Structure 1
Amino acid sequence: MKRILEFVGGVVLIGGIAGVLRELTGWFPFMGFTRFLTENVSFLQGREIITNIAIAVLGFAIVMIADTRRRT
């Protein structure tokens, strides 16, 4: 379970960071974690950077939770 949480958290963290870079610089056009959210959820439109930062923080939190779990 620990490895799964680390993997998922790492993917979410990298996706959030890549989304911030995409919004600020135009790089990583293939990283579309928030494209669907910001196009279909009305209160997220125009807040792509904040959404990506929140996704990166969520990924970091998942990695930290995985780090605190004991091996069973």
Structure 2
Amino acid sequence: MKSVLGFLSFVLIAGGITGLLHEWLGWFRLFGFLRYLVPDGYAVYANVVFVVLGIVLGLLADSLEQRRASS
């Protein structure tokens, strides 16, 4: 479970950051599949949400690992 959450966290953070770079600079199109999840005109807001959600999932994965280690 931790590895799945860690992978999703990485994809969301990397996709959100590259989406923001693409919106601001116009040339960075890596992880372009996340743009299909966003309605037109809301790309910056959605990419910020992707980054925040990725951070939250990463923290959740770490807390699950720590809880499992302490049990």
TM-score by length of 1: 0.78
1:45 deviates by: 2.0
Which residue in 2 is equivalent to 1:63?
A: 58
Mark the runs of 5 or more structure 2 residues left unpaired by the alignment: none
Which 4+ residue blocks in structure 1 deviate beyond 6 angstroms?
A: none
More helix by share: 2
- Letter of the 1:45 partner, please give it: D
- Letter of the 1:64 partner, please give it: L
One of 30, 35, 40 as aligned partner of 1:45: 40
Aligned residues: 66
TM-score by length of 2: 0.79
Mark the runs of 5 or more structure 1 residues left unpaired by the alignment: 39-43
Over the aligned positions, Cα root-mean-square deviation in angstroms equals 1.6
- Letter of the 2:43 partner, please give it: E
- Letter of the 1:57 partner, please give it: V
